[in-house]
């Protein structure tokens, strides 16, 4: 069964799993607001996420990304270039208003990955700011873009959902921050570095509670949404409770990133029960 293990490792290392998480959050948005998800936008975001995350993980310097060493990374590189090609194909079918939002998000991704400040390699080396940047990009990608693709304006409830999505991503990033404590430069001043693992869990618990309570600020609240976000909050608390420095190899890279996939399944099931 070694080949299955190799496929699974490639699935994680080539950023397919995280791209699937992004896609599932977009489908969740479509369910929550009873809109159709534009297929070209969904595929563009999926393949674009694969290419973007691989670019960030395996070298933000052009020559390092192009002149890779080792056959395994060449496979990932080839897969990334295929993903870029597929994303470019689906990009041709996106509207101008979607492109406007994509331009803003692309700038934020560039700020995250590329040097922009003196003595700072990129904004992902600025600790808490990195988390906010990631949360903003995920919120814009998985909430604003799907809605804007089919509607002309962004109502209050969509803004609340985008804020909730930002908080959700911040909480999901905490296990990664804790996992990387042994490797991160102390100068990054990440949340676990500033406050320790225990306090980081508490911050995550409070943030999850805020995430859930924000639901009540919406003008329209459906029973499936309320139940789904309640279940998600319990799941997040469970993730935070299991978060520690010596976590298992796949805890963050697979199980934590699988939370959006599980949440989509839960929300879909609840909308079947409460149509």
Distance CA 60, CA 7 (A): 25
Q: Residue 77: helix, strand or coil by DSSP?
A: helix
pLDDT score recorded for residue 117: 46
pLDDT score recorded for residue 62: 43
Contacts of 54 (CB under 8 A, 6+ apart): 14, 15, 76, 77, 79, 80, 83
What the block records as the tokens of 251 is 């805890």
What the block records as the tokens of 161 is 């959902």
Q: Residue 93: helix, strand or coil by DSSP?
A: coil
- Dihedral angle over CA of 170, 175, 179, 183, nearest 10: 10
Distance CA 10, CA 14 (A): 6
pLDDT score recorded for residue 57: 77
pLDDT score recorded for residue 68: 55
pLDDT score recorded for residue 106: 85
Distance CA 81, CA 14 (A): 11
pTM: 0.91
What the block records as the tokens of 101 is 């939002």
Distance CA 21, CA 3 (A): 24
Is the Cβ–Cβ distance between 51 and 89 less than 8 Å? no
Exposed (0-12), middle (13-18) or buried (19+): which is 246, by Cβ within 10 Å?
Answer: exposed
Please give the chain's pLDDT, 275 residues, in tens. Answer: 788 899 999 999 999 999 999 999 999 999 999 999 999 999 999 999 999 888 877 755 444 445 555 677 778 888 999 999 999 999 999 999 999 999 998 888 776 655 444 454 545 555 677 788 889 999 999 999 999 999 989 999 999 999 999 999 999 999 999 998 877 777 677 889 888 999 999 999 999 999 999 999 999 999 999 999 999 999 999 999 999 988 888 999 999 999 999 999 999 999 999 87
Is the Cβ–Cβ distance between 263 and 234 less than 8 Å? no
- Tell me which residue of 34, 10, 25, 38 sits closest to 262, measured CA to CA: 25
Is the Cβ–Cβ distance between 270 and 226 less than 8 Å? no
Is the Cβ–Cβ distance between 129 and 83 less than 8 Å? no
- Tell me which residue of 244, 239, 131 sits closest to 182, measured CA to CA: 244
Q: DSSP readout, 103-138? A: HHHHHHHHHHHS--BTTBS-GGGSTHHHHHHHHHHH
Contacts of 186 (CB under 8 A, 6+ apart): 193
Distance CA 81, CA 93 (A): 20
- Tell me which residue of 72, 73, 65, 57 sits closest to 15, measured CA to CA: 57
């Amino acid at each position: 069964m070694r080949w299955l293990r190799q496929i699974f490792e490639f699935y994680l290392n080539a950023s397919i799993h995280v791209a699937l998480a992004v896609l599932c959050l977009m489908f969740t948005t479509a369910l929550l607001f009873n809109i159709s998800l534009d297929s070209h936008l969904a595929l563009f975001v999926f393949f674009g996420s694969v290419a973007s995350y691989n670019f960030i993980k395996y070298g933000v310097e052009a020559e390092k990304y192009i002149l890779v060493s080792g056959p395994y990374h060449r496979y990932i590189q080839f897969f990334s270039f295929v993903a870029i090609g597929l994303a470019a194909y689906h990009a041709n079918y996106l509207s101008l208003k979607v492109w406007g939002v994509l331009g803003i998000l692309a700038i934020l991704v560039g700020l995250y990955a590329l040097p922009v400040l003196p003595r700072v390699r990129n904004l992902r080396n600025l600790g808490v700011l990195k988390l906010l940047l990631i949360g903003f990009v995920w919120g814009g990608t998985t909430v604003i873009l799907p809605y804007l693709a089919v509607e002309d304006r962004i109502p209050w409830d969509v803004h609340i959902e985008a804020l909730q999505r930002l908080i959700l991503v911040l909480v999901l990033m905490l296990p990664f921050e804790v996992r990387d404590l042994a490797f991160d430069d102390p100068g990054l001043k990440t949340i676990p570095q500033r406050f320790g693992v225990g306090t980081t869990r508490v911050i995550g618990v409070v943030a999850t509670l805020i995430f859930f309570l924000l639901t009540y600020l919406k003008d329209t609240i459906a029973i499936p949404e309320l139940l789904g976000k309640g279940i998600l909050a319990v799941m997040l608390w469970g993730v935070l409770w299991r978060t520690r420095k010596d976590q298992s190899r796949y805890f963050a890279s697979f199980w934590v990133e699988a939370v959006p996939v599980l949440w989509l399944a839960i929300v879909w099931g609840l909308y079947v029960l409460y149509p």
